[in-house]
Structure 1
């Protein structure tokens, strides 16, 4: 079972109780859990981030992490895989060794990244993390409030983590737009604004919006989005 927490594309954060149920369900099914936590600790809502690894005694857990998100070095595709398996099941079954054998011949990251990583991990201050969270919290709130001003777009929930929010298109209020893909193509052409159509992640007629930009740019982008939707609204 694969879970993504905090979530991309919807900005969700799972509670301890929800993760506990996931672990128990996986145990009953006799399967392990792969936890994608590249946005681990990038949370700014009411729920704290809970690593799936704390449930390792219930079910074996593989955790995927990355330096690019929490430490804000996009493009540095350097990550890690950690196991939480107090009972030793993965070791007994040879799964851990099999993964290690696959990773051993994998190409290494550029040397300058390898040299920088110890400094980044050891010397990044809590002030850096708290400032980042404050910026993302304000951006998430701004995005949510501005989206409520657009009738043809519904934001079901304010993002609580990661850097994205997922919104629903109400195509019945728009004309000359068939689906989310056409919406995004016309938006890019008319407003030079790029959003991810939901169909790319299996959610037709939804949109993924990132708010990890400067506040002025975010306000400008959301203003363009509102203008585009107003221009394409069906006339009474």
Structure 2
């Protein structure tokens, strides 16, 4: 008997860890030197975690065998509340915070508790594909609102407004943005908050990169601009503390408690069903959130993440027919391949050939919700020498394509 995937899986994809990664893994097994630029995992590139966070996890092992409360350890949730107070969000209590096995788990919980079949969620394009996949898996309909490359990848507010319907239930904000590295300014966020208020929408703010900022840019927490709206803010240790393997994430629910009471009851049920988050990782949260994040030494002058962002952007924009909006946050670049120069009609095929011929793994733009075949995403995390090698291989690949076309 043939066993088939469910109908809900038929259009779900996650290209960041899709077939190209499987090919890259096979190439490595065959002895090839593959440069993987597909996943934003700082630990994999030697960007080390703070010692106090690692020490807290090591010390917790002997006292972490039992389940915690379903929402997470009170001390860890209190630490999250204090961290948001530092950022200007002063209305939270520990009861408003849910800890989770990464933001990925909490994203699914938040959408499962909210959506009925056919309900719509507005998601920026390009997007982090988890939001699109998780929406579809709940029976919802992901609707992508465009971000404008010419405006530094800020949301096209006219397009966003036009896509709100009577089935729209939520607006997703990914800021700082993955994959573009854009940091959305206060006035844009205020406009989104106004739209959400007018149409009675829940705001879901994915702010996992809120401490990864360059050039003195300001990050404005969405919830501080939407005190009268039900707003879910997602964060965690994966990026700011470089411990994605800990799966230490959180979700903070702010806004009018009465209006959200039934929804929160649904979140409580889902939190209980998964029993609890990883307890060892939870015990590291207070140590991680105590004081100013050390990641600022990596993103400021002389910092490794800043220097790699600069090197990546400078090298990409030297390649004929390649342009790139300079990222202001996170650790990704989303370069454009000028169709008048490179004429790529299938970006998935482009990514496959780049991997096959030059052993460089990137993610095609259409795998990130972008509607045209003219972009790809790469991480800026490798050491400078490895970035030089990877972008050098990319340039050689594109030069070869141009020579063959000519």
Q: Distance in 2 between matches of 1:121 and 1:41?
A: 12
Matched, 1:207 2:360: no
Q: Would the aligned equivalents of 2:234 and 2:250 in 1 still touch at CA under 8 Å? A: yes
Aligned to 2:305: 136
5+ long unaligned stretches in structure 1: none
Q: Secondary structure at the match of 2:335?
A: strand
Q: Distance in 2 between matches of 1:2 and 1:144?
A: 27
Aligned to 1:220: 389
Distance 1:107 1:69, change over 3 A: farther
Q: Show the 5 A alignment for 1:164-203.
A: 164-174=332-342, 178-203=345-370
Aligned to 1:114: 282
Matched, 1:41 2:214: no
**Displacement of 1:46 after TM fit?**
4.6
5+ long unaligned stretches in structure 2: 1-170
Q: Distance in 2 between matches of 1:191 and 1:109?
A: 40
Q: Deviations over 1:27-64 (max 9, x none)?
A: 01111201011111211135311111102324221101
Q: Distance in 1 between matches of 2:277 and 2:271?
A: 13
Aligned to 1:161: 329
Q: Secondary structure at the match of 1:104?
A: helix
Distance 1:107 1:198, change over 3 A: farther
Distance 1:82 1:121, change over 3 A: same
Q: Deviations over 1:51-107 (max 9, x none)?
A: 11102324221101121011111222221110121x32444x422222122112215
Aligned to 1:30: 200
4+ residue stretches of structure 1 with deviation over 4 A?
A: none
Matched, 1:149 2:321: no
Q: Distance in 1 between matches of 2:281 and 2:195?
A: 39
Q: Distance in 1 between matches of 2:395 and 2:230?
A: 46
Aligned to 2:264: 96
Normalization by structure 2: what TM-score? 0.53
Q: Distance in 2 between matches of 1:151 and 1:37?
A: 34
More relative contact order, 1 or 2 (CA 8 Å, 6+ apart): 2
